[in-house]
Amino acid sequence: MEISIIIVNYRGWKALEECLKSIDLIVSGISFELIVVDNYSNDGQFPIIKEKYPKYTFVENSGNNGFSNGCNFGSSIAKGNYLLFLNPDTKLTAEALESLFKTAISNPKIGILSCLQINENNIYYKQNNLFPVLGSFFGISRAISRKINKLKLQKRFSNTDEDLFYPDWVTGAVVFISRKWFDKINGWNEDYWLYFEDVDLCKKMASAGGKIAVSRKATVFHQHGGASRLNIKTKAITKTEVIISKHAYISNQFSSATQLYLHSMLIFTVLLEKIYFSFLSLLLFFVPKLHVHRLMLKNLLTYYINAMQNKTWISPRAMNYLKKEKS
Compute the C-alpha angle 16/171/53, nearest 5°.
20
Q: Is 40 left (phi over 0), alpha (psi -120 to 50) or beta?
A: left
Q: Would you state the pLDDT for residue 225?
A: 58
Q: What would the pLDDT profile of 139-195 be if each residue is shown by its tens digit?
A: 777 777 778 877 877 778 777 768 999 999 999 999 999 999 999 999 999 999 999
Asked if 27 and 155 count as a contact pair (C-beta separation under 8 A), the reply is: no
* Domain layout of the chain by residue ranges: 3-222, 232-326
Domain covering 3-222 in this structure, CATH number: 3.90.550.10
Q: Which of 121, 117, 90, 122 is nearest to 19 (CA)?
A: 90
**pLDDT at 229 > cutoff 60:** no
Q: What would the pLDDT profile of 34-79 be if each residue is shown by its tens digit?
A: 999 999 999 999 999 999 999 999 999 999 999 999 999 999 999 9
**pLDDT at 227 > cutoff 60:** no
Q: Would you state the pLDDT for residue 230?
A: 56
Asked if 163 and 219 count as a contact pair (C-beta separation under 8 A), the reply is: no
Q: What would the pLDDT profile of 107-148 be if each residue is shown by its tens digit?
A: 999 999 999 999 999 999 999 999 999 988 887 777 777 788
CA gap 287, 113 in Å, rounded: 41
Q: Is 141 left (phi over 0), alpha (psi -120 to 50) or beta?
A: alpha
Identify the helix (H) or strand (E) that includes residue 176: strand 174-178
Asked if 16 and 46 count as a contact pair (C-beta separation under 8 A), the reply is: no
Q: How far is CA 79 from CA 4, 5, 109, in A?
A: 7, 10, 22
